[in-house]
Chains A and B, each alone.
Chain A
Amino acid sequence: MFELTTDLAQPIAAYSHGMKQKPALISAFIHEPEFMVLDEPFVGLDPKASRVVKDLMREKCNEGGAVFFSTHVLEVAEKLCDKVAIIKSGKLVAHGDMDKVCGDSSLEAVFFELEEGGK
């Protein structure tokens, strides 16, 4: 799935950050949970692996499950998520369906609006 086969003989400790992310994600998906909590799942992943993870997350949601994940990449959140929540200084400042939170703007515009509005 993540093209780790050629590196299976190496210890995980010798993997790069992105490669370590792959067995961690495999561990998370392999037992087919209905609900997943992922912290920055795309950090360090190459574009191909990142695409695989996005597809898997979408598939999980289409099957009736849920994936709750954090990210700093707003474009990813905007394209991938059904619902979004924005946290600022530890406080929830906006949340709801993506369409409702963003309206006609982009998620990035909403984020900076909230960021500047709070100053």
Chain B
Amino acid sequence: MIRKLFILNLKALGSNFVRGGKKKPGAGKILLVTFVALYVAATLIGMFSALFHSLLEPFFSAGIGWMYFALLALIVFGICVISTIFGAKDNELLLSMPIKPSAILISRLLVIIAFEYVFAVIAALPAFVIWLTGGYATVGGILFLATGIFLLPLMALAVALVLAWLLGVVSLRLRHKNIIILALPVGFLLAYFYLFSNIQGYFGELVSKGAELAEAFRRVLPPFYGMAITGSGAGSKITFALWAALPFAAAVILLSTNYRKMLIANRGNVKVVYKEKPAKAGSALSAFVRKELAHYWSKSFVILNSSIGSLFMLALSAMVIIKMSNILLYADEIAPTLGNLPPAALAAISPVFLCTVNNISASLISLEGKNLWIAKSIPVPPKEIILSKVCTHLLISGLPCLAASACAATVFAGNVSDWLIIVALPQTVGALIAVGGLAINLHFPILEWTNEIYVVKRGLSAMITMFGAMGAIAGLGFAYAFLLSAIVPLTAFLWICAAAFAIAATIIYAWLMKTGGKEDC
């Protein structure tokens, strides 16, 4: 039974990528999915390669090579703690069948572990290759590292299970749980960026206080330290293996016995009583936008996964206002390292990159799921519904972007032309992503999901939109730096890009309005 459920879960996950409805995916779609998967993997491998390449020499030459592996272990651990097993919509269906709850749990865990191994290998492979080619590797170390990568996801999963359980228990007693669930990862990300911006200082401290840090690491995070000291004796290796395997086994046993109870527990959903009030007449468009925004605000993982850029834009706006003088000084300092990039260009480009992280519209059709019939059955032209989704994206992404651009323009713009490009460029990118993401989602809808998070986080249209936008912007940047910089002044190039984005957005918008509603979802 576990094997059958495991295969079914894998197929369901696969269909999240390639299937929208009952139609079988064509060869083109499968090719596209393979390309997107390879592109994402290559991007992540490139990112981790750059990170570990910069760490290898400083750590090993300073005699704290163990820190290299400790960081590797922390990264693998961090990217593996992203799982969910309690929110699947088919839990009730499976529980009504003569299937043991433990079999449902284990089949779900196996799928998560399979995915975690893929992520673990993506993070560990660059570190492993760089370490190997750096001349610091030993046979024992290689074997231990391979075992470590096998064991780490188990420990990460144990922690994820406990965290999910704790969050579930705590959220039953909280009123504004969405804000808290949202604040945790945002706080984590801000801390990450703070640490990353001060990394050079930390390197210096790491090198000077290696022994003390090793001792602190051993005391506070023994499993990661155990994995880090690849060259040490068998004792520490066994300790590390136990640290990784025992919590996992304990979590599985604990959850197996309580899984049914946890799934059918009353999640504190109280039936809201309708209070009669005078009906307000408004347009269908505003009603749909309100509905989309209500859904958006009610799901913290949607906010986090589809619009993290907006949160950073708001943070950027506040930072620009509060630290205006410091930013001007910092911009002068880094200008030579960026090829003397004009401040206005820097101010225009920064929100553009944050816009590419926002892919709200790319999952709005999929999120309708089995309720798509409502949108289809109401007597409202399909283009109104499509327009409402575009407006939702523009409100969530465009307004914070406008705030960030206006703040940046206040600081960096030297004249009216600078002002206009700083504000216009990110808005045209945002508009293109809004209509482009929606068009892609209309073409690749996923309506048979068991958990909304798969659509927002791993849906094909969301991935194509985000990585496509990032790739396109990076591609234009490289094209200018290596090919066009001698021919076209930067500001002129930015205006050309803004015009091209606006034209592309208008064409896609016209297509959406004309034929988008006729697409068979």
- Chain A residues in the interface with B (C-beta under 8 A): 5-10, 12-13, 23-24, 27-28, 30-31
A5 and B378 contact, Cβ closer than 8 Å, known pairs A12-B371, A24-B373: no
Within 8 A of A (CB), among B17-42: none
Residues of chain B within 8 A (CB-CB) of A8 are 274
A9 and B379 contact, Cβ closer than 8 Å, known pairs A23-B374, A24-B373: no
A13 and B379 contact, Cβ closer than 8 Å, known pairs A5-B274, A5-B276, A7-B274: no
A28 and B377 contact, Cβ closer than 8 Å, known pairs A5-B276, A12-B371, A13-B371: yes
B268 to chain A, nearest CB (A): 15
A30 to chain B, nearest CB (A): 6
Residues of chain B within 8 A (CB-CB) of A9 are 271-275
Interchain CB contact under 8 A, A6 and B371: no
Closest 7 CB pairs of A and B: A9-B272, A31-B379, A9-B274, A8-B274, A27-B378, A24-B377, A27-B377
Within 8 A of A (CB), among B361-376: 370-371, 373-374
> In whole angstroms, how far apart are the Cα atoms of A51 and B258 in the complex?
46
Residues of chain A within 8 A (CB-CB) of B272 are 9-10
Residues of chain B within 8 A (CB-CB) of A31 are 379
Given A5-B274, A28-B377; 9 other pairs, CB 8 A cutoff: A9-B272, A10-B271, A12-B374, A13-B371, A23-B374, A24-B373, A24-B377, A27-B379, A28-B379
Residues of chain B within 8 A (CB-CB) of A28 are 377, 379
A6 and B377 contact, Cβ closer than 8 Å, known pairs A12-B371, A13-B371: no
Closest B residue, CB atoms, query A30: B379
- Can you pick out 9 interface pairs between chain A and chain B where the beta carbons lie within 8 Å of each other? A6-B274, A7-B274, A9-B271, A9-B275, A10-B272, A13-B370, A13-B371, A24-B373, A31-B379
B296 to chain A, nearest CB (A): 14
Residues of chain B within 8 A (CB-CB) of A10 are 271-272
> In whole angstroms, how far apart are the Cα atoms of A10 and B370 in the complex?
17
Closest B residue, CB atoms, query A25: B377
> In whole angstroms, how far apart are the Cα atoms of A51 and B373 in the complex?
24
B127 to chain A, nearest CB (A): 45
> In whole angstroms, how far apart are the Cα atoms of A7 and B274 in the complex?
7
> In whole angstroms, how far apart are the Cα atoms of A6 and B377 in the complex?
22
Residues of chain A within 8 A (CB-CB) of B378 are 27
> In whole angstroms, how far apart are the Cα atoms of A72 and B378 in the complex?
25
> In whole angstroms, how far apart are the Cα atoms of A108 and B450 in the complex?
42
> In whole angstroms, how far apart are the Cα atoms of A12 and B373 in the complex?
11
Closest A residue, CB atoms, query B371: A13
Residues of chain B within 8 A (CB-CB) of A6 are 273-274
> In whole angstroms, how far apart are the Cα atoms of A106 and B271 in the complex?
46
Residues of chain A within 8 A (CB-CB) of B275 are 9
Closest B residue, CB atoms, query A29: B379
Residues of chain A within 8 A (CB-CB) of B379 are 27-28, 30-31
Residues of chain A within 8 A (CB-CB) of B371 are 12-13
Residues of chain A within 8 A (CB-CB) of B377 are 24, 27-28
> In whole angstroms, how far apart are the Cα atoms of A13 and B375 in the complex?
12
Residues of chain A within 8 A (CB-CB) of B373 are 24
> In whole angstroms, how far apart are the Cα atoms of A110 and B505 in the complex?
60
> In whole angstroms, how far apart are the Cα atoms of A31 and B380 in the complex?
10
> In whole angstroms, how far apart are the Cα atoms of A30 and B371 in the complex?
20
Closest B residue, CB atoms, query A27: B378
Within 8 A of A (CB), among B427-441: none
> In whole angstroms, how far apart are the Cα atoms of A26 and B343 in the complex?
57
Within 8 A of A (CB), among B350-394: 370-371, 373-374, 377-379
> In whole angstroms, how far apart are the Cα atoms of A48 and B291 in the complex?
30
Residues of chain B within 8 A (CB-CB) of A12 are 371, 374
> In whole angstroms, how far apart are the Cα atoms of A23 and B377 in the complex?
9
Residues of chain A within 8 A (CB-CB) of B273 are 6, 9
> In whole angstroms, how far apart are the Cα atoms of A12 and B378 in the complex?
13
Within 8 A of A (CB), among B249-281: 271-276
Closest A residue, CB atoms, query B271: A10
- How does the 8 Å CB contact mask read for B376-417 relative to A, with 1 for contact and 0 for none? 011100000000000000000000000000000000000000
Residues of chain B within 8 A (CB-CB) of A13 are 370-371
> In whole angstroms, how far apart are the Cα atoms of A24 and B371 in the complex?
11
Most chain A C-beta atoms within 10 Å of own C-beta, residue among B274, B275, B373:
B274
A75 to chain B, nearest CB (A): 27
